[in-house]
Structure 1
Amino acid sequence: MRKYIAATAIVLALASVNGAFAKDLKATVKKVDALTSSVTLDSGQTVKLPAGVKAASLKAGDKVLVTYSTDAAGKTTVQSIKPSK
C-alpha cells in the first residue's frame, strides 16, 4: 500500500510541475503595440513583452523565437523574445 501511495504522489508531483518548463515557439511578428508592451504573432496570439525587451526593437514581419512557460492556471509568461532565422 505504501508503494502505491508513494508512486501516486510522485506522479502527481511531476504532473503539477509539467507546465513550468520553458517552451520555444518560432513565429513572425504581425503587430507591435508599444502602449501595452505586447506583440501579436502570426498565429493570432498576443503576448506581453518581458522586462528588458522594448517594443521599439520589434517590427511587423520580424521572425522571432519566443521562450515561454504556462502555469497550472493556463497563464502564459514570456521569458524572452529573440530574433530567429
Structure 2
Amino acid sequence: MQFPDWMRLSGPENAPDPILAWCLEEEEEEKKEKEKEKEKEKEKEKEKEKEKEKEKEKEKEKEEVSHPSSAQEQLEEVQDCSGGGSGLL
C-alpha cells in the first residue's frame, strides 16, 4: 500500500490514526524484506560466479594434466625413432 509523502514523513509512531500507523509499519517491513531478498539474490549470484571459477580452474587443471601426457607420448615417439638410427655412426 502506497501513501503520500506527507503521511510518511510523520512516521508510524507519530501518525494520528492507529490504522495509518499500522499501514506505515507494514510498508516499512515490506521494504526491509525486499532488501533482504535482493541481498540473498546477490549472494546466490556470487556463489554461482565462484562455482564457475572453480569449474574453469578444474578445466585448466585437466588441460595441464592432458598436455604433459601428450608431451610424454611425443618424447617416447622421438626416443623410438632415435633408437633405430644408431647404426649410422
Whether TM exceeds 0.5 here: the answer is: no
Task: Name the TM-score, length of structure 1 as normaliser.
Answer: 0.29
More helix by share: 2
Greater strand proportion: 1
TM-score (norm 2): 0.28
Bigger RCO (CA 8 Å, 6+ sep): 1
